[in-house]
Structures are given as C-alpha cells and as structure tokens.
Structure 1
C-alpha cells in the first residue's frame, strides 16, 4: 500500500477508492453512453482539494474518453467531431482569459434546463445540428466545462440529437469529450495549476478507466438501440435533476 500513498497528496485508501471508481465509472459511460464522469467528479469533490478537482478530473476523463474513442473509431461521426474541435479551442481560450464563476446555482440550472428540454421535448432545428451549430456547441460547452466541470450531460444531449445509433452516440461523445478535456488541460496549465503532484494518480486512474471502458463496450454490444435510448434518456434525466437540486441549493445559500 505504500506505493498508493506516493501517487498523490491523498491517502492510500482514498487513492485506491478513486482508482477503482475510475474503472467503474468508465464502464458506466461506455455502456450507458453518459453518467460516469459526473459520478466520478461528485465523489472526487468529497475527498480532493477544490483547486485540484476540475483539472485532475479533466485529465482522467481525457484518458478515459480517449481510450473509448480509440476502441470505437469506426463509429465516430467525423463531421460532428471536426466541427466540434475548433469551437472547443475557442471556448478554452475564452475560459483561460476569464476564469470566472457565474452566480452560484445559475450555471447548474441553465445546463439542467437545456438537458431536460433536448432529452424529452425540444428538438433542435437541423441548422443548429449542422456544422455551425456543432462549432458553437463545442465552444459553449468547453467554456462551461472549464468553470464547473459539468458540461458532459449538455454535450451528450446535443450529440444524441444528431444520432439514433448507440455506437455512434457513444463514440462521437467520447471523441468530443476527449478533445474538450485536452483543451481544459491547457487552460489550467496556463492558469498556473501544477499537475506534477497528481500525475502518478492520474496515470493509474486512466489505466483503470481503460479496463472499465473495455468491459462497458462489451455490454453495449448486447443492448438494442431502443434499450440504449431509454437508458440514455433516464441517465441524462437523473444527472439533470441532480444539477437542478444543486443549483437551487446554491441559489438559496
């Protein structure tokens, strides 16, 4: 257990918990399409310094999503990805200049409203799902992600509107999130965050996440598109409702 204690400023027990959770949450994201990253950041928020939470979570998620992207390359909707990346870069640059927080609760409620509307009611017009709309989505969600680390459900809800095939949804979402988290690494590096103390833990969590991704993709192949759609909507709804609760709680102080 001594090597676990040397992975990061955290205790050996906490490091072991996060490593195991990285595998579990990656399996959830690979099989359900979404949810793992939010569960991981919720847990990390309980045991990590606030200043390290978003940058460390971002790098771990970059590795996890990157592994899923490589395993599902042939299913990626490349036009969506190529439109998303430039927007993500612009969003990251803006975030690096501002690095501000909106009023407590407002951001969470805004994201939750978008997710619920696009999941259960609002259908985005075809123009919004085109190249320009995807570019804007990349910019906006990357900017929000750099502030609160909670944009995953928003990206997932947007990608789901573009595709009804489960493999395409999972693969394209993983690819978009990989590049979004990559840009966040530059944002926090630019802002002066020192990753060195956390890199060993991040590396082991990424390896654990790759294993979870492989297991989750095995489960995904056993789901029909209909079942996947139902599970995907339910998971997005639970995450959105959690953001509503968090947003109201923060607004009320």
Structure 2
C-alpha cells in the first residue's frame, strides 16, 4: 500500500478506490457506449480538491478513450472525427481565453435539454449532422467540457445520430473524446494547473482503464444493435435527468 500513497496527494485508500473505479467505468463506457466518465467524475468530486478535479479527470479520460480508440480503429467514422478535431481546437482556444463561468445550474440544464432532445426527439437535420455541424459540435462541447467536465453525454448523443451501429458509435465517440480531452490538457496547462504531482495517479488510472476497456469491448460484441441502442438511450437519459436535478438545485440555491 505504500506505493499507492505515493501516487498523489490523496490517501492510499482513496487512490486504490479511484484506480479500481477507472477500470469499472471504462468497462461501462466500452460496453454501453457512455456513462463511465460521468460516474467517475461524480466519485472524484467527492474526494478530490475542486481545482484538480476537471484537469485530472480529463487526463484519465483521455487515456481511457485513447485505449478504446486504438482497440476499435477500424470502426471509427473518420469523416466525423476529421470534422470534430478542428472544432475541438477552436473550442479549447476560446475556453483558454475566456475561462468564464455561467450562472450556477444554467449550463447543466442546457446540456440536459440537448441530450434529451437528441436522444428522444426528432432526428437532427442532415445539414446539422454534416461536416460543418460536426465541427460546430466539436467546438461547443469542448468549450463546455473545459468549464464543467460534463459534455460527454452531448458528444455521445450527437455521434449516435451519425453512426449506424454500436461498434461505430463506441469507436467514434472514443476518438472524439480522446482529442477533446487532449485539448483540455493545453487549456489547463495554459491556466497554470500543475500536473506533475498527479501524474503517477493519472498513469495508473489510465492503465487500469485500458484493462476495463478490453473487458467492456468483449461484452459489446455480445450485444445486438437494438439492445445496445436501448441501453445507450436509457443511460443517456439517466445522465441527463441527473444534470436536471443538479442544475435545478444549483439554480434554486
């Protein structure tokens, strides 16, 4: 347990919990397409300093999604990814320059509304799902992610409307989130966050996440597209309703 105590400013028990949770949440994201990152940040928020939460979570998610991207390369919708990346860069640059904060609760409610609409509402117009629409989605979600770290459901809901099957949805979402979290590293580095004291924990959590991803992808192969679609919608809805609850609490004080 001594080496665990050296991983970060956190206690050995908390570090062990986060390492184990990284594997579990990566398995959830790989098999269900979404949900693991939100569960991880919800837990991390209970045990980590607020200033370290979003940057450390972002780096762990970059590693976890990167591993999933490499394991599913042949299923990535490359057109969506190539349009998403420039948008993510623009969104990160704007976030690094503004670093604004919206009123408590407003951002959470806006994200929840978008997720619920794209999950259960009518399909987005083809123009919105094209290259320009994907670029805009990359910019907007990256900007929001740098503020609250909760844009994953937005990206997932958008990608689901573009993808034709579960393998493509999981692979393309993982690729987009990898590059989105990579841009956040530059945003928080620019803002002065010091990563080095958290790097050992980040590294071990990424390794644990890769193991969870491998297990989750084995489970994904056993799901039909219809069952995956149902699970994906239900998980997105649960995450959106949680944001509604959180946003309403913050807005009402």
TM-score with structure 2 setting the length: 1.00
CA distance in 2, matches of 1:103, 1:124: 28
Unaligned runs of 5+ in 1: none
Matched, 1:110 2:107: no
Q: CA deviation at 1:47?
A: 0.1
What's the CA shift for 1:122?
2.9
Alpha-carbon shift at residue 56 of structure 1 (Å):
0.1
Asked whether the equivalents of residues 164 and 225 of structure 1 are also in contact (C-alpha less than 8 Å), the reply is no
Matched with 2:243 is: 243
Pairing 1:67–2:76 present = no
Provide the residue aligned with 2:231 in structure 1. 231
Measure the CA separation in 1 of the matches of 2:70 and 2:3. Answer: 29
Q: How many residues align?
A: 253
How big is each residue's C-alpha offset from its partner over 1:154-203, in whole Å with a ceiling of 9 and x where there is no partner? 00000000013000000000000000000000000000000000000000
- Bigger shift: residues 119-128 or 12-21: 119-128
1:62 & 1:200 partners in 2: Cα distance? Answer: 15
Extract structure 1 runs of 4+ deviating beyond 2 A.
Answer: none
Q: CA deviation at 1:121?
A: 1.0
Distance 2:99 2:146 in 1: 8
Give me the whole-angstrom Cα distance separating, in 1, the residues matched to 2:149 and 2:64. Answer: 15
Cross-structure match for 2:162: 162
Given that 1:119 and 1:233 are in contact with CA atoms closer than 8 Å, whether structure 2 keeps it comes out as: yes
SS at match of 2:150: coil
Unaligned segments of structure 2, at least 5 residues: none
Compute the displacement of 1:100 (Å).
1.3
Tell me the equivalent position of 1:196.
196
Any residues of structure 2 matched to 1:92-107 within 5 Å, and which?
A: 92-107=92-107
- The range that moved more, 116-125 or 23-32, is 116-125
Provide the secondary structure at the position in 2 that maps to 1:128: coil
Aligned equivalent of 2:7: 7
Matches within 5 A, 1:1-253: 1-253=1-253
Instruction: Output the CA distance in 1 between the equivalents of 2:115 and 2:164.
Output: 17
